């Protein structure tokens, strides 16, 4: 674990509300009405809508989605949202990255958790849902 980081990052779908821990953070382009007052929003982590739409309509394969999303994460200014994540984790609270996709195998929240892990954040890899 990062010496300063006391909390941990997990992921869950909005549909599996019982799977969240700590602070729920939406990393989706939209949020269910019943979650709007329960979730913080980290909009810079949202994949571009064209990418989401292309994958959803089978115009983009998963491998290409992953590549483009990682490129997006690596080339955009995410500093403000990264600082928000640090503030939450360093204060000892856990974070659950939330989005719409039911299955984490084909979801950007899992990719974001992997990316955050490679950037020094402690991710509970057993709780990537």
pLDDT tens, position by position, 90-102: 989 999 999 888 8
Tokens 């009405």 correspond to what residue?
33
Side-chain half-sphere of 62: how many Cα atoms within 13 Å? 7
What's residue 102's pLDDT?
84
| Residue 2 located in a structural domain | no
Residue 13 has pLDDT above 80, yes or no: yes
Domain hosting residue 113, numbered range: 9-128
The count of domains in the chain is: 1
| Residue 1 located in a structural domain | no
Residue 1 has pLDDT above 50, yes or no: no
| Residue 105 located in a structural domain | yes
What's residue 60's pLDDT?
94
pTM for the complete prediction? 0.88
| Residue 81 located in a structural domain | yes
| Residue 3 located in a structural domain | no
């Amino acid at each position: 674990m990062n010496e300063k980081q006391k909390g941990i990052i997990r992921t869950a779908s909005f549909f599996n509300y019982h799977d969240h821990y700590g602070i729920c953070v939406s990393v989706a382009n939209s949020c269910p009405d019943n979650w709007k007052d329960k979730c913080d929003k980290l909009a810079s982590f949202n994949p571009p809508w064209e990418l989401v739409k292309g994958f959803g309509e089978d115009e983009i394969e998963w491998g290409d989605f992953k590549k483009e999303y990682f490129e997006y994460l690596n080339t955009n200014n995410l500093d403000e949202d990264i600082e928000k994540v640090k503030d939450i984790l360093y204060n000892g609270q856990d974070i659950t990255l939330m989005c719409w996709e039911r299955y984490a195998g084909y979801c950007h929240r899992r990719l974001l958790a992997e990316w955050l892990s490679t950037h020094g954040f402690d991710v509970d890899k057993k709780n990537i849902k």
